[in-house]
A and B are shown apart, each in its own frame.
Chain A
Amino acid sequence: KAGVTQTPRYLIKTRGQQVTLSCSPISGHRSVSWYQQTPGQGLQFLFEYFSETQRNKGNFPGRFSGRQFSNSRSEMNVSTLELGDSALYLCASSLRGGAGTTDTQYFGPGTRLTVL
């Protein structure tokens, strides 16, 4: 069974640009979550999608947005990039997700975004 895949793996952008990251969950998984990892901050939750609906959202500005398609693939978009957006962006999928469930989140390898 293929794992969670993320594309691209590495990305360099300049301030003010926008970027779209892609995540393909494990086959059959319907919940996709996004996290930002920066040195010293650990993993910060961005948002979670299930059946094309955003169910949970972290404390990030509106420049960070996402969506999920009918095949559960998800994209994350960051507009008007800032230097502080440089980070590793991780995607995780699980079967159902949702409050009360304890199904395991499986992470992809991440997309390393550098903003110059």
Chain B
Amino acid sequence: DAGITQSPRHKVTETGTPVTLRCHQTENHRYMYWYRQDPGHGLRLIHYSYGVKDTDKGEVSDGYSVSRSKTEDFLLTLESATSSQTSVYFCATSGQGSEQFFGPGTRLTVL
């Protein structure tokens, strides 16, 4: 499996506060992704990156921003967290093929 870590693994925060989730990979994969997973839904893409400083929006990008200053790190920021952003967030990477490899996830609760 790709070496992908996420931090924090769990977080509880209050509505209106900023939150940053970090994804770190050691596989030198070009592509990185942030998804959210909610009951009854498939994984939904928030943002993705196709290289350092190259990012684009996914299906559910409103309220989220990302940055990628190094190949190995991809940050997801919730500028002002809302209760609807309570979810499990997964980071994924891919190299040459379209198969994606996932980090362990971050459980975020917004009160």
Pair from one complex: no
Chain B: residues with CB nearer than 8 A to chain A? none
Q: Which residues of A contact B (CB under 8 A)?
A: none
